[in-house]
Structure 1
Amino acid sequence: MTAFMRIAFTALACLMIAVTSAMSADAHPRKEAETEISYNENANRVEIIHRYRIHDSESTLHRVHGDTSLSIMTDPRAQALFGEYVESRFSISHNGQALPLELVGGEIEDGFVWIYQTTPEMPADGLYVMRSNELMDVHQDQTNIVHVRLHGLNETLIFTRSTPWATFRLDGSDTY
């Protein structure tokens, strides 16, 4: 094999790897959702903003409700069911008492379902326990990433099927 043929063969192999990698990334995106928790001074409330991929949300609704006709894109009933689903699988407690999370609403934008919740101000002292297992009952490889930005704390918590709960403090103290 000539040097030119080896170079051409190597270039072709690299191109094939790049193309198949890109195709597989599009076909099977990672199962991730993100949530941000921050204080809104204007509303004097803590805002909880969840972001889920539409496809993952719909497949979860189909499985949980046994109805493949549910469409988050077009059906207000499906949208409400998904909001209720999120409410049932995301929670925060402070010193053993559940925080009152209020579902404010949701919207569809750029391929994502956004769910909005609020709660009264969260004190800086005490121990918090958070559960975030949305979509995990359907998608085994689901990862939920929660960013907590309160009282000067900027912490990211990662939730998976094996770790659907996390403890944290807002005063910077260790949780253990």
Structure 2
Amino acid sequence: MSKFLTRSITVLLLIAASSVFAHQQKTAISTILFNPRTENIEVMHRFNLHDAEHAVRHIFGKNADIIGSTKTQRQFSEYVSKRFAMSQENGQAILLKSAGFEIDGKFFWVYQETAEPEQLDNLVISHNALRDLWPSQINTINVEGKGDLQTLTFEDSIELLKVEFDHH
């Protein structure tokens, strides 16, 4: 599935879900996409812009402006990147590099990517963005493109979650 189509479906589902809530959602959705065309792992984090606005003022000071300041946008992107990590169960870290960030409607997106390791049986993931700020923050990750869709939910005291991949 293309990145655009994946994002479009995710956005539509989340718009439907977000109409149930008001203002701060304290939820974020990420997609880890195994792209067979590029042989890369592409990570797309989607935060509600309203949440990101509140967060940057807490983290970077009351003058932080995620809508009008590229500097604040970069700072938030780096903040997210530092609080998201993937490794293999054997401890081998999977290092991600920034692939940019953008505001798209009511959302702030942070993109990361890396080459897919040759042998990958599992991923151990940590996603603590905003959870240090708001204990009620829920970060959901969809893992796509490597077998069946798998969904992980980071909430309460959950620090690490693992997905395993079948080899046919």
Tell me the TM-score normalized by structure 1.
0.76
Task: Give yes or no for contact 1:131–1:166 (8 Å, CA) kept in 2.
Answer: yes
Higher mean alpha-carbon deviation, 132-141 vs 118-127, is at 118-127
Match of 2:28 in 1: 33
Shift of the 52–137 alpha-carbon distance from structure 1 to 2, 3 Å rule, reads same
Report how many aligned residue pairs link the two structures. 147
Task: Give yes or no for contact 1:129–1:166 (8 Å, CA) kept in 2.
Answer: yes
Task: Give yes or no for contact 2:24–2:50 (8 Å, CA) kept in 1.
Answer: no
**How far apart are residue 43 of structure 1 and its match?**
2.6
Partner SS state of residue 153, structure 1: coil
Q: Which amino acid aligns with 1:78?
A: T
**How far apart are residue 164 of structure 1 and its match?**
2.5
The correspondence for 1:74, drawn from 64, 68, 71, is 68
Match of 2:147 in 1: 152
Q: Calculate the aligned-residue CA RMSD, in Å.
A: 1.9
Shift of the 59–138 alpha-carbon distance from structure 1 to 2, 3 Å rule, reads same
Tell me the TM-score normalized by structure 2.
0.80
Seq. identity, %: 32
2:123 is equivalent to residue 128 of structure 1: yes
Match of 2:54 in 1: 59
Moved over 6 A (4+): none
Q: List gaps (5 residues or longer) in structure 2.
A: 1-19
Alignment of 1:8-23 (within 5 A): none
Q: Which amino acid aligns with 1:121?
A: E
Deviations, residues 43-76 of structure 1 (Å, cap 9, x unaligned): 32111011001121122222122x1111111101
